[in-house]
Amino acid sequence: MNTMNHTRLTDSLERELLQQAIEAQYEYPVLDKMLSNLFRKVATFFRGPEVTIHQTHTAH
């Protein structure tokens, strides 16, 4: 059994998996931002116009 070839295959697989993990790490923030913006727009749509109540104080 040649362990050197086995080690090289394992190192190659490790490098490939690490590269995929690094690439995936950069993909999700974009998706998270898009989903966040979408939910914010939906919440704003269902909330409708906000009404601000101003309290006035009268001197007695």
The pLDDT assigned to 16 comes to 92
Amino acid 55 reads Q
Q: How far apart are CA 3 and CA 19, in angstroms?
A: 24
The pLDDT assigned to 4 comes to 59
Q: How far apart are CA 43 and CA 48, in angstroms?
A: 9
Encode pLDDT of 1-58 as tens digits: 555 555 666 888 889 998 998 888 777 777 788 888 998 988 888 776 665 565 665 6
The pLDDT assigned to 19 comes to 92
DSSP 34-51: HHHHHHHHHHHHHH-S--
